[in-house]
Structure 1
Amino acid sequence: MFGEVEHELELHVPASEAWDLFGALRIGKLVEEEMPEMFQKVEITEGDGGVGTVLKLTFAPGIPGPSSYKEKFTKIDNEKRIKETEIVEGGYLDFGFTLFRVRFEVVEKGEDSSIIKSTIEYEVKEEEAANASLVSIQPLVKIVQVAKSYLQRNKAAKEAN
């Protein structure tokens, strides 16, 4: 069984600024610092931020779903501003999923505006199809909202100087 969920949010910053955050390791550091209620730890276990980098995400106690998992950067396209990660150990794979991919795409909307499109693609074994209900776009929505606030604070600080 294959599924997909998406979310879009407008960011009032240029696409290049949004991509500087989402296309690199900075987004992992940001969520660890600004979302302790969701993430206990985000650590690099392999790589330098490019394709092949592996992160271990450990969630805060009490968060529904897996307590941790490892994800690998499988695609980083700086031209199209697309970054994809796939779970490679633990997490949803322990619930019968054979694929759990997260994609962030930064779309230029105007000179000072962009859209962040977040997508989860998943595939789950037929006998575990009921576990598809575990998939939620809400954690990505929260991450994007935190990123939007961060980007707007930085923009306001630059304009004040």
Structure 2
Amino acid sequence: MGVITFDFEITSPIPLAKMFKAAILDADNLLPKVLPHAVKSIEVFEGDGGPGTIKLMTFGEGGPYKAAKHKVEALDKENFTYCYSIIEGEMLGTTFEKISYEVKITASPEGGSVLKSMSRYFTIGEVNITEEEIKAGKEKASAMVKAVEAYLVANPDAY
């Protein structure tokens, strides 16, 4: 088994606490609203939302995947960090054992926030991931953050 690691960072004008609450703590409700073409629903399958919780995410029509199970590995509301792993679903195929994400949101000097994410792909055997695949993954993550940001700008009293 190998591990392939990628880092991603995006800056937002949305303040730290508001971004964490919307993008992390309320993602189960917000992502299907702001990305209905990509995320159909996110439901708690087992647990209370904290570490050990299993969530089932179903994807929008026309995408390459139908669903994925996520396991919450860690949630630290005081330090604005969230870690989870994709543990089941078509996206793992026969290539990956799991895919883990560590997300940390920090305050930017301008009053907004900086979302930093580290992705770890736990491979089954030797795997080569192309620059195009890396770029596509980062574009999807950026689109998610920008969709949450657009919602918060349009709904300033939310969260």
Coarse TM-score class (shorter-chain normalised): 0.7 to 0.9
Q: Which residue of 2 aligns with 1:80?
A: 79
Matched AA of 1:43: E
Trace 1:33-112 onto structure 2 (pairs within 5 A). Answer: 33-64=33-64, 66-110=65-109, 112=111
Q: Which letter does structure 2 place at the counterpart of 1:112? A: G
Provide the C-alpha distance between the structure 2 equivalents of 1:10 and 1:81, rounded to a whole number of angstroms. 15
Residue 124 (structure 1) aligns with: 123
- How far the C-alpha of 1:115 sits from its partner, in A, is 0.7
Q: Deviations over 1:30-80 (max 9, x none)?
A: 11112121112221111222112211111123213x321100110112222
Deviating above 3 A after TM superposition, structure 1's stretches of 4 or more consecutive aligned residues are 132-135
Inter-CA distance 91–102: structure 2 relative to 1 (3 Å threshold): farther
Residue type matched to 1:22 in 2?
Answer: A
Q: Which runs of 5+ in 1 are unaligned?
A: none
Mapped partners of 1:79, 1:59: distance in 2: 30
Q: 1:109 to 1:142 in 2, by over 3 A?
A: same
Change (3 A) 1:119 1:91: farther
**Cα 1:116–1:149 shift into 2, 3 Å:** same
- Give the distance between the partners of 1:45 and 1:123, measured in 2 at CA: 23
SS in 2 for 1:147: helix
Distance 1:80 1:57 in 2: 25
Q: TM-score, normalised by structure 1?
A: 0.82
Measured after TM superposition, the shift of residue 101 of structure 1 is: 0.8
Aligned counterpart, 2:8:
7
TM-score, structure 2 length as denominator? 0.82
C-alpha separation between the residues in 2 aligned to 1:69 and 1:91?
A: 7
Contact 2:88 2:98 in 1 (8 A): no
1:111 is displaced (CA, Å) by 6.7
Partners of 1:22 and 1:60 lie apart in 2 by 19
Deviations 1:77-121 (A, max 9, x none): 222211011012223332321230122211112372111123321
Question: Partner of 1:150 in structure 2?
Answer: 151
